[in-house]
Structure 1
């Protein structure tokens, strides 16, 4: 086992010893109350199966047949989740065929950052994760279930489903993916048209035509953002069937994997002799495995918050130092847009998850002494699913990459590190995704240009006020201020400035999305400006230094000068009212700092707002 990975794992276990034990005690107590239908009164149980068929009623009354909850994020506005429309019946039929029962326990909301980007709804995006977790808990709260199937893919949805599932950690739980859409136009072409639109060289008609050729059918978007990072991490944590993450929707293989997931969860319940609840699968080693895979593939920076919150739901405390140390220990093995020109389908064709597992296991970068939904260890995840005469089977994955420009080896990686830097200094702490930068590191000292709104930046860009070397500061974008929206709409104008030869970077207490690319972006700055962070005192013209080699993020203004300055006051009212945002005031007030997961669900149990 790699010594750094082992050391990080051991310190997570040690710092979380009591909280993890408390969690295990909680889920064991929940288990001992079962079988749960047995503690329901006749009236309760009658309500619980009133709409079932006669056979299902008989099976549920007997208390010897498993009843599996289905929790789905289906809606037909969101391309990634549209395929889930037919899943409940497929899952129910597969489970009924083996003598058990499934009930649709509840739906959770699923919003799309791609639709809300740059619009008021984006201010609800991060908070929707906690709403999803709460909705999952409501769906599972009826004491009717022996296991669960979770249907979700995209940005906040999978972390929310994970947090909610872990609150019912005594239940065996399998996550069921739906797969990415087939490849559209190349991602580099999409980015080129976006930059041309930002410069006024093409109009809205040309931009929409380009976007529609990229996002063109049911399935997950094909770039390697948060949605596909979710799928990769969940599989590496052992909660997907091997090789099931990136099989396209509407294929025979996808359908058979869906049925197999349904059958598998019934094998893990407490009614048999292979009880494997999700709370036992998601332990410190599984969490570290997820971090390793995320960083070895240049995955989404959003997980520097999501995985912190997920770990907390399982009784573990992780922080950005853990991310940083793991990033320094693992090599970068993939080039998937925005960290390259390939998409997730190209990654699968090059060898995909099976080869990724094989490389990481072979180098001692993954813990193999873990539980998964398929049993002990990760060797089965080095195999890939296939159909032989219509029957689902798994065969050995490829021995080497079919495209070394997309999927490399540990011996010859694209970079020696995972491409995530943690920055610190008088401005606080932040993260920067360096895997997609043009240079290996960001070393920059430049005057600040300060904005308190992403739309102010757009106006300045159009006016030509940013045609210079500068570090753009966009503040009062943090969790407590306005819910921490993604600021991905800043990428095209800043990319244009970079292409003109100017040295530009971004510093913000907001998010920059899983599609963070070639522009250096120190994001998730904590403490956020709204909660007293030094960002609130930065003035246009101040020198800021960013250096990912030294980990420095400093405002080069004397302490005497800073003491004289008054912190700017946030004018966030326009971001807190309208489009339902006023209803989320209590959640915004409860959100922890970015390094603590930007989470409202554990605010009363020891988390502080900022580090």
Structure 2
């Protein structure tokens, strides 16, 4: 199948734009490969330190001829998605030994849950945790005693942070190992209704708590299609997962088999063998374009508009939000998974899942078919699905048809002809909107602004009954430099109530919305942010704002906007407490949302 011309054109533009940064990166990776791991060059004392606790693996490590696998883990048992990783190191060591190698836990990285910190001070550390994770993983691998690595992570900032670190050590092969989704519980639609009823004062906290516990009830990833599950999709589309690994449940025979195969596969791809396939070869410009296509075709999380840019830059690849928008314009939306529909990721997987979707997009010329992956050359490998047979783990051809077209549709008959994300520009700056969950009648909102400096003020105004008509809620001073760019997902229930009353409602913010952004149109990641003097700092109560996802525009209908002074706000309350005082260096260094909101260069 011939590549779609837009796919080819955008890819060529990215390659050209990235030439000055990609080539030096690849040169550094080549130099690191030639130098190789330092294990054999360490002093006797250094080697003794590295192998002291390795038990029966000491002799293999000292000889230095067997592959040594570094394990980077984001395990903690406060995150349901990461609790299953507790068992993984033993499984990985066992598999490495069976393959003639060794495995060591190189280090752990922090992993926070945005679901816990929504609306709380801790959310202001969430985005920065991605770069902390990249730094921590790099420290773990800096001992330079490993021939390959596996990365254990699932959730929102964890996978992007691990990918950034993997690219810093891009001369090593790496396999990313997920834990899998929890079993389906209370439906996401019922959970959302209960949250709205609580926000409206119709039910008490006891009823809300019961609903939440019924939804989040066991080990594994939350089952809605937010940032965590979007991460898992990306790792398959970009070739860092084993095929079909993303949505296999935790703690079963198949999950254990995939985990152990991941260790074997990572070692087999090292420079010690004949199939050397480092991360720097897998994550090229084509792989990132494939990831963007997957993001749009699934209606994935808006957080990845920031994370993919930051991940790409770690490998010298420069992405622009315009790339996302142009690819969205030609990518059919093939999935309806909550909040874009009623199904969860378990239903999606059962209907055919990522294997079916990748096959459809390949057939439509909307994916680069010849990328390198941990499964070998060619994305066709990812149309297969794992099976446990008497002889062990094998891959067979996946579903050729969708088993439920209310959840998963063929490319010839999609849910909509364009993807789930829209770039917006205008007198208010540059923003993005997740449109896949927003009904068409809400794609264009023009209404007077109510301007707030934080989400608590919005909640107070709602409780006071101040929203009585159409409104564009503007929440500013929420960008990365101001306070770490928290998600404002806790505003979703009350904005949904206003919309349900028949009002035209939109949110505009220089902060983030949850990866589970829902039915209220939200122009987010507004850049430049207010603290940088962006136009959002000059909007006033009563200004008419037009949020137009059809035309891709975001405008303040005020002729004197450019001559107004910038609003200011006391941000001191966001700079201390819950560890925030330790992150001043991040707030002072971080770049704009359009360049990934990262501390690693703008």
TM score, norm. by length of structure 2: 0.99
Question: What is the distance in 2 between the residues matched to 1:426 and 1:39?
Answer: 59
**In structure 2, what is the equivalent of residue 591 of structure 1?**
590
**In structure 1, what is the equivalent of residue 39 of structure 2?**
37
SS in 2 for 1:227: helix
Question: What is the distance in 2 between the residues matched to 1:581 and 1:226?
Answer: 23
Question: What is the distance in 1 between the residues matched to 2:213 and 2:232?
Answer: 24
Q: CA deviation at 1:36?
A: 2.4
Kindly report which structure 2 residues correspond to 1:212-611, keeping only aligned pairs within 5 A, or say none.
Answer: 212-389=213-390, 391-439=392-440, 442-559=443-560, 562-563=562-563, 565-602=564-601, 607=602
Partners of 2:180 and 2:220 within 8 A in 1: yes
Q: CA deviation at 1:83?
A: 0.2
Question: What is the distance in 1 between the residues matched to 2:37 and 2:203?
Answer: 63
Partners of 2:300 and 2:420 within 8 A in 1: no
Q: CA deviation at 1:390?
A: 6.8
Which of residues 14, 17, 26 in structure 2 aligns to 1:15?
A: 17
Q: CA deviation at 1:57?
A: 1.8
The answer to whether the aligner puts 1:24 opposite 2:26 as a matched pair is: yes
**In structure 2, what is the equivalent of residue 155 of structure 1?**
156
Question: What is the distance in 2 between the residues matched to 1:588 and 1:104?
Answer: 31
Partners of 1:181 and 1:220 within 8 A in 2: yes
SS in 1 for 2:104: strand
SS in 2 for 1:115: helix
Partners of 2:442 and 2:520 within 8 A in 1: no
Q: CA deviation at 1:440?
A: 6.5
Partners of 1:482 and 1:588 within 8 A in 2: yes
Partners of 2:442 and 2:521 within 8 A in 1: no
Q: CA deviation at 1:441?
A: 6.1
Cα deviation digits, residues 158-215 of structure 1 (max 9, x gap):
0000001100000000000110000011111000000000000000000000011100
Moved over 2 A (4+): none
Question: What is the distance in 1 between the residues matched to 2:354 and 2:379?
Answer: 12
Kindly report which structure 2 residues correspond to 1:114-129, keeping only aligned pairs within 5 A, or say none.
Answer: 114-129=115-130
> How many residues are matched?
600
Q: CA deviation at 1:350?
A: 0.5
Cα deviation digits, residues 79-115 of structure 1 (max 9, x gap):
0000000100110011111210001000000000000
**In structure 1, what is the equivalent of residue 138 of structure 2?**
137
Moved more, 26-35 or 105-114: 26-35
Q: CA deviation at 1:466?
A: 1.1
Question: What is the distance in 2 between the residues matched to 1:456 and 1:178?
Answer: 38
Cα deviation digits, residues 555-586 of structure 1 (max 9, x gap):
11113x641x3211122111111001000001
Question: What is the distance in 2 between the residues matched to 1:119 and 1:382?
Answer: 41
SS in 2 for 1:118: coil
SS in 2 for 1:16: helix
Question: What is the distance in 2 between the residues matched to 1:369 and 1:438?
Answer: 36
**In structure 2, what is the equivalent of residue 48 of structure 1?**
50
Partners of 1:320 and 1:595 within 8 A in 2: yes
Question: What is the distance in 1 between the residues matched to 2:20 and 2:358?
Answer: 31
Question: What is the distance in 2 between the residues matched to 1:562 and 1:2?
Answer: 41
Question: What is the distance in 2 between the residues matched to 1:441 and 1:470?
Answer: 13
Q: CA deviation at 1:39?
A: 2.3
Partners of 2:447 and 2:546 within 8 A in 1: yes
Q: CA deviation at 1:513?
A: 1.3
**In structure 1, what is the equivalent of residue 63 of structure 2?**
62
Question: What is the distance in 1 between the residues matched to 2:240 and 2:506?
Answer: 37
Moved more, 297-306 or 460-469: 460-469
Moved more, 30-39 or 165-174: 30-39
Question: What is the distance in 2 between the residues matched to 1:35 and 1:168?
Answer: 11
Kindly report which structure 2 residues correspond to 1:91-110, keeping only aligned pairs within 5 A, or say none.
Answer: 91-110=92-111
Question: What is the distance in 2 between the residues matched to 1:570 and 1:343?
Answer: 41
Q: CA deviation at 1:543?
A: 0.7
Cα RMSD (Å) of the superposition? Answer: 1.0
**In structure 2, what is the equivalent of residue 6 of structure 1?**
8
**In structure 2, what is the equivalent of residue 170 of structure 1?**
171
